[in-house]
């Protein structure tokens, strides 16, 4: 995988403890916009569930679960999730989190995030997801944010943007 120039050497996630989900060796990092779809009835939920089954390793950025919590709480406050639906969704998110490898926020992630912000005009949290995927050498980065997907692709990440038509070229 091509790394951005000037952001440091390849830093894999070797040593991250994670449950192996699927039979493939595919290492998938989900950003919060994609991961939230697993717990709320939204377009893209089936694809996220399929990727959970296909992936050999599931990765998330250090701040991802906080963002998922925020998104689910917002949906509850706005009435999109009942209290019971929220409880079920949050329980599922916590159960999944225990089995995912969390990419620690370190200087390598920050340098990759800087490159993502410079390349794609991303907000800090979005750039940290991209930086984490690059630092962990993820095989696939999954997001529902088109701007983030464009920046990730520009920095050499194999990226799937939920809601985009697949490129069949």
Summarised one tens digit per residue, pLDDT across range 65-123 is: 999 999 999 999 999 999 999 999 999 999 999 989 999 999 999 999 999 999 989 99
Please report whether residue 37 resides in a domain.
yes
Please report whether residue 49 resides in a domain.
yes
Helix and strand numbers, DSSP H then E, in the chain: 7, 5
Please report whether residue 81 resides in a domain.
yes
CB contact burial 100-112 (16+ within 10 A = b; e otherwise): bbbbebeebbbbb
pTM of the predicted protein model: 0.84
Please report whether residue 71 resides in a domain.
yes
Domain with 129 in it: 27-161
Length of the chain: 169
Number of structural domains found in the chain: 1
Alpha helices in 121-163 (DSSP H): 124-135, 146-154
CA distance 15 to 106: 15
Please report whether residue 7 resides in a domain.
no
Please report whether residue 168 resides in a domain.
no
**Domain containing 99 — which CATH number?**
3.40.50.1010
Please report whether residue 96 resides in a domain.
yes
Summarised one tens digit per residue, pLDDT across range 36-56 is: 999 998 899 999 999 999 999
Bridge partner residues of 58 (DSSP): 28
Please report whether residue 95 resides in a domain.
yes
């Amino acid at each position: 995988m091509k790394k951005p120039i000037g952001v440091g050497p390849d830093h894999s996630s070797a040593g991250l403890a994670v449950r192996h989900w699927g039979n493939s060796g595919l290492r998938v990092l989900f950003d919060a916009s994609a991961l939230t779809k697993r717990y709320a009835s939204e377009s893209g939920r089936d694809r996220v569930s399929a990727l959970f089954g296909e992936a050999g390793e599931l990765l998330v950025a250090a701040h991802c679960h906080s963002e998922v919590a925020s998104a689910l709480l917002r949906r509850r406050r706005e009435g999109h999730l009942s209290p019971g639906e929220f409880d079920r969704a949050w329980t599922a998110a916590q159960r999944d989190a225990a089995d995912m490898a969390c990419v620690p926020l370190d200087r390598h992630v920050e340098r990759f995030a800087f490159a993502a912000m410079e390349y794609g005009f991303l907000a800090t949290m979005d750039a940290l997801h991209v930086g984490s995927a690059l630092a962990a050498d993820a095989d696939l980065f999954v997001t529902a944010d088109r701007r983030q997907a464009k920046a990730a692709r520009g920095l050499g990440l194999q990226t799937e943007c939920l809601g985009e038509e697949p490129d069949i070229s």
